[in-house]
Amino acid sequence: MDQRAALSLSGILVLDKRVGRSSAQAADDVKKSFWDRGADLRTGHGGTLDPFATGVLAVCLGQATKVAGYLLADDKAYDAEVYFGIETDTFDRTGLITGMRPATFDEATLRATVAARLGEQEQIPPMFSAIKQGGARLYTLARRHEEVERVARKIRIDTYDVISFTPPRAVLRIACSKGTYIRSLVADLGTALGCGAHLSELRRTRSGILTIDQALTIDQIRTLPLAELAARMVPLPTVTGLPSITFPMDMVAQVQNGVQVKATVFGADHLERFQLIDEHGALHAIVHVDPVDRRVVYDRVFRP
């Protein structure tokens, strides 16, 4: 692959994020790996992972940065290691110890307590989180030893299984809706078991349709040929979660210029939001339909 072709790369690479890097730093590592080979690509990520966590991080390259927001809405899956008997202020191993109690429950009790926490529920976000309240990030207030009342959020737990139990540690497998704080889930479990707990390890195994089996390490990204990396990129139309409408090639100029036409022109009057792809499967636009005049309004336009 020549440099000109490399500069036009667009897609999503699934990174197996390593310990100690923030999501932004991990995305920058990928950007630098392309820069070192002559490709200055715009880079972003979809779905934040804490620095101590590993696993699936969607790194958006080129025009794929325009779909990063859609990835945030995806459901997630994790393998989480829990340490029972020790509580921390951050609910994970990076925090200060705030309490210690003996963990005296057995495996049967653990499994029953975990199983009871499936389904839709409300969760109060932790103080050590990036949520803004009163104009300030909660973690900023927490570092000043201030605690404020937080509004509970609706979450959904689809899978909550005990994979292994070797006291005082257990490994849990969790599949959940977006916005679920695994740290809080673990802290609440420890409270229910009467001993407290914190999250000691976290590995994300899935984000939407992106899985750990697709993931590359940063070392692989640095060494694999550009052509192979391009082949490993996830195409944009597959990750938005939107219905696809194929339009004829003679309408490319209209779509690229954002010409507003009736949704019926695309045979999409029954849809409120959709993506426009050409006959070769390339994504050209993400649009929504004006509820009054039923014309398409362009939210994102891409240059395949």
The whole-angstrom separation of Cα 113 and Cα 129 is: 26
The whole-angstrom separation of Cα 207 and Cα 191 is: 28
The whole-angstrom separation of Cα 214 and Cα 209 is: 10
Active-site option among 29, 50, 79, 188: 50
User: Can you say how many angstroms the Cα of residue 204 is from the centroid of all Cα atoms in its chain?
Assistant: 9
Query: Which helix (H) or strand (E) is 197 found in, with range?
Result: strand 197-207
Radius of gyration of the chain (CA): 22
Query: Residue 216 carries which DSSP code?
Result: B
Active site annotation includes 106: no
Contact 187, 179 (CB under 8 A): no
Question: Which residues are known to be catalytic?
Answer: 50
